[in-house]
Amino acid sequence: MKQNFTVRQGALDGVEAFLCVAQHRSFRRAAAELGVTPSAISQAVRTLEARIGAALFIRTTRSVGLTEAGERFISRAKPAFAELVAAGEAAHDLGQRPTGLLRLSVPKAVVPLILEPVIASFCRAYPEIELEIAASEELVDLAAEGFDAGIRLGQFIAADMVVVRLTPPFPFVVVGSPDYLRDRKRVERIDDLRQHACLRIRRSNGSIAPWPFVDGNRTVEAIVSGPLIAHDYPTLLGAAIQGLGLAQVPGPLAKAPIAEGRLQALLMPFAVTAPGVFLYYPGRRQVLPKLRVFIEQVKYRSAEPPRASKTARRVRKLRGANAS
């Protein structure tokens, strides 16, 4: 049997014309309100009556009234049409100003690095937006799961996504605590990792990720072992700080603990560079104002502060000299 691949047309055709005529009890006044000719209104109503299979109006030269079929039809069509109009207005509102629920899928490591500086100021600036952050390492299908956008390392984003850079490229660094490293063999080569407890991460597909490195022009994937397998980088970082073993984590995540002396960076000549963190979403035409303003906010907060000009630095120096 041949299938019909066409979409049924006209399910609502003529309903607005019918409701307008029923309201005014006049084809002419309905035509004036809708900005069309009386003959166009008559044709729309006749087409609707033909599709329904019953006359909806009693027409005379002096008046227009509803038949019993018309009364039954209007009792259900009027509230349903009002709901359709309201639905259109609600959708239109989302397309005109920043409002509604903004759902983001992000890895846990991104929350303290990129989102925490943004969340409070964004929510204060746009009180009509509800911001929902789903922190998970799982790579979700944004459209299927109902997310407006995601944030991920660049290498994990599908090629058909629109991307917005949030960070510059950065290294993946191997780190260990001073307590862990104190009585153990120095880590100077990739092969030295065989003699160390290495904390590993399980990917969203279930596999345990090897540790990537670069050795000259070669890419090397080291298969390591250790006492802990986690599903996110913050957990690995915390375990490394506690002295459980070595961890390989995104450089920005380890920056503060390294600066504070709680961790030491190792094997830096072999560190592989990640392309950076990106916000991504399905298509430019699908960007609603709620997402557009969030993109601008997070780009502004993620940007490095501009360096002061030589003139500005000289002025500050002179002010300091004068103050002393």
pLDDT of residue 87: 81
pLDDT of residue 108: 86
Q: Are 256 and 237 in contact (CB under 8 A)?
A: no
pLDDT of residue 86: 81
pLDDT of residue 59: 85
Nearest in space to 246 (alpha carbons), one of 274, 265, 230: 265
- Mean pLDDT computed over 238-254: 96
256-280 residue pLDDT tens: 999 999 999 999 999 999 999 999 9
In this model, does residue 42 exceed pLDDT 50?
yes
What sign does the dihedral 197-201-202-208 (CA atoms) show? negative
What the chain holds in terms of domains, given with CATH numbers, is 15-94 (1.10.10.10), 100-164+285-302 (3.40.190.10), 170-274 (3.40.190.290)
State how far the Cα of 66 lies from the Cα of 213, in Å rounded to an integer: 80
The residue with greater pLDDT, 139 or 126, is 126
pLDDT of residue 315: 31
| DSSP track, 224-257 | ---S-EESSHHHHHHHHHTTS-EEEEEHHHHHHH
Nearest in space to 161 (alpha carbons), one of 140, 135, 185: 140
In this model, does residue 241 exceed pLDDT 80?
yes
Q: Name the band, by pLDDT with cuts 50, 70 and 90, for residue 112.
A: confident
Phi, psi of 321 (to 5 degrees): -65, -40
pLDDT of residue 302: 63
**Chain Cα centroid distance, residue 81:** 33
The residue with greater pLDDT, 111 or 244, is 244
Range in 3-17, 84-98, 192-206 with the lowest mean pLDDT:
3-17
| DSSP track, 262-309 | S-EEE-GGGBPEE--EEEEES-GGG--HHHHHHHHHHHHHHSPPPPPP
- Over pLDDT 90: what percentage of the chain? 56
pLDDT of residue 253: 93
Range in 20-24, 118-122, 255-259, 308-312 with the lowest mean pLDDT:
308-312
- Over pLDDT 70: what percentage of the chain? 88
pTM above 0.85, yes or no: no
pLDDT of residue 10: 60
Q: Name the band, by pLDDT with cuts 50, 70 and 90, for residue 85.
A: confident
Longest dimension (CA), the chain: 105
Distances (CA, A) of 243 to 63, 176, 276, 277: 90, 7, 28, 28
Q: Name the band, by pLDDT with cuts 50, 70 and 90, for residue 88.
A: confident
In this model, does residue 209 exceed pLDDT 80?
yes
Distances (CA, A) of 219 to 106, 174, 244, 268, 313: 28, 16, 27, 14, 43
Report the Cα–Cα distance between both ends of the chain, in Å, rounded: 94
3-class state of residue 207 by DSSP: coil
- Mean pLDDT computed over 55-75: 89
268-324 residue pLDDT tens: 999 999 999 999 998 766 688 899 999 988 887 766 443 333 333 433 343 344 443
- Mean pLDDT computed over 81-87: 84
246-250 and 198-201 beta bridge pairing: parallel
Q: Name the band, by pLDDT with cuts 50, 70 and 90, for residue 109.
A: confident
Residues near 85 by beta carbon (within 8 Å), at least 6 away in sequence: none
3-class state of residue 119 by DSSP: helix
- Mean pLDDT computed over 94-122: 87
pLDDT of residue 211: 97
Residues near 51 by beta carbon (within 8 Å), at least 6 away in sequence: 10, 13, 14
135-186 residue pLDDT tens: 888 888 898 899 999 999 888 898 889 999 988 999 999 999 999 999 898 8
Residues near 48 by beta carbon (within 8 Å), at least 6 away in sequence: 13, 14, 15, 17, 18, 56
State how far the Cα of 154 lies from the Cα of 309, in Å rounded to an integer: 32
pLDDT of residue 7: 37
State how far the Cα of 240 lies from the Cα of 255, in Å rounded to an integer: 14
Nearest in space to 161 (alpha carbons), one of 108, 105, 214, 79: 105
Strands (E), 42-122: 57-59, 64-66, 100-106
Average model confidence (pLDDT) for the chain? Answer: 85
